[in-house]
Structure 1
Amino acid sequence: MQETQKKVKMAINGGITFGAKLNAKQLVTITEYMNDEDELELTTFQQLYIEVQESKVEEVEAKLREVGLSCYPVGNYVKSLRTCNFCKGSEEEGMPAAIELNNRIAGKPVPFTLRPAYTGCPVGCGEPLVNDIGVMKIKEGYHLYLGGKAKGKDAHVGTLFMENLTPEMLYKAVENILDIYAEYGKKREPFFKFLNRFGLENLRNLVAL
């Protein structure tokens, strides 16, 4: 009897650019690793989920990256940065800062799946106020919001934690926050519950810039 190889779920997307888009070459490459009966799951966080054989994860990731796709683990990790469409332009809406922030935090292990979001202007198309960590670019500075929740009867907007940050200050603050959550958060404790238990002021005192 042939042993069935274990499959693992992988999250992929087209990276941070103007809108959430995939080209034909990327789609063809994805389908190379799918059987006729396999399904491609589209999430609300600008990601696609596919299942691949565990033994081929590295091979598949390499092929997907060759065509410009980004790959992320699925589970209790920081998800890739959900963004707006940068409709006013890359520089004006801070696309380089969003790309760098995503490179630094996406895929980090945390107590429970954490959803960060980014938007390049006050319109808020990236929905930063209703995600765990939200960044909004206001003129030349970056505002950082924490603890938003988009779903459930207790849905609420996040709290403005810091404002008018430079890109470097933003990266450092978010990385410090994630390190603190990883150290002090309980297993499978959502980020907003961690904030309620740990306290924003305690967190503020530990986030050194």
Structure 2
Amino acid sequence: MNMEKKMIPLAVNGGIDFGAKLTPKQLIVLGQYLDEDEEIELTTLQQLIVKVPEDDLEAAIKQFNKVGLSCYKVGNFVKSLRTCNFCKGEINEGMPVAKELNKRIAGQEVPFTLRPAYTGCPVGCGEPLINDIGVMKYKDTYELYLGGQSKGRNAKAGDLFMDGLEPEQLYEIVDEILEVYRNNGRKREKFSKFVDRYGMDKIKEEVL
């Protein structure tokens, strides 16, 4: 009796940087896990969804990482940080902070898929105000927005939660917010709905 291999979806991108980019070497490695006529999904989160046989998962992740591809879980987890598509100037625009924040939060389990976003200046190309958690660099510190929603009839901008944050403060506060959401969010409750129900003041009280 033939048993079909169990396929595990992986969300893959070229890492956290300004712009969603892939190199030819990375595309070649991705192609090794695709049949000739197979389609690959490109999400609005700057990720490609690739299905890998369960038995090959660990080896595939190592191979992807070797060529600079980052791999993330698919499902009710914090997604990789969405960043600006066009800007340059890695140090001036705070990209090391974005990379560290992504390293800390991406893949954390939450009640429902959570989309964080980062932008290096008030122009906001990374669209932080219409994502669940948004970070905007302003001069030499960071602003943190919560509860944005980009789709549907209830689309809205997030509200400013805190500003004037130093990097270490930002990391710790975002971690605490995710913990509050994990402990108090209902099953499959979107983060924006959780913020509306639970209240910004109560979240701030618990975080501080």
Aligned residues, how many?
A: 208
| Matched letter for residue 3 of structure 2 | E
Q: Does 1:150 align with 2:150?
A: yes
Aligned-pair RMSD on alpha carbons?
1.0
2:26 alignment counterpart:
26
1:125 alignment counterpart:
125
Residues 18, 88 of structure 2: 8 Å contact kept: no
| Matched letter for residue 188 of structure 2 | R
Q: Take 1:88 and 1:6, find their aligned partners in 2: how far apart are those partners? A: 41
1:7-156 to structure 2, matched below 5 A, reads 7-85=7-85, 87-156=87-156
Q: Take 1:159 and 1:125, find their aligned partners in 2: how far apart are those partners? A: 17
The Cα of 1:87 is off from its aligned counterpart by 2.0
2:198 alignment counterpart:
198
Residues 145, 161 of structure 2: 8 Å contact kept: yes
Runs (4+) off by over 3 Å = none
Q: Does 1:162 align with 2:162?
A: yes
Residues 77, 107 of structure 1: 8 Å contact kept: yes
1:185 alignment counterpart:
185
The residue matched to 1:135 in structure 2 has which SS?
strand
Residues 149, 156 of structure 1: 8 Å contact kept: yes
Identity of aligned residues (%): 58
More deviation in 143-152 or 35-44?
A: 35-44
The residue matched to 1:11 in structure 2 has which SS?
strand
Residues 114, 132 of structure 1: 8 Å contact kept: yes
The normalised TM-score by structure 2 is 0.98
The residue matched to 1:160 in structure 2 has which SS?
strand
Residues 130, 158 of structure 2: 8 Å contact kept: yes
Q: Take 1:101 and 1:18, find their aligned partners in 2: how far apart are those partners? A: 15
| Matched letter for residue 77 of structure 1 | F
Q: Take 1:172 and 1:36, find their aligned partners in 2: how far apart are those partners? A: 45
The Cα of 1:166 is off from its aligned counterpart by 0.3
Residues 16, 99 of structure 1: 8 Å contact kept: yes
The Cα of 1:88 is off from its aligned counterpart by 4.4
Gaps of 5+ in 2: none
The Cα of 1:85 is off from its aligned counterpart by 3.7
| Matched letter for residue 69 of structure 2 | L
Gaps of 5+ in 1: none
Q: Take 1:8 and 1:120, find their aligned partners in 2: how far apart are those partners? A: 34
| Matched letter for residue 38 of structure 1 | E
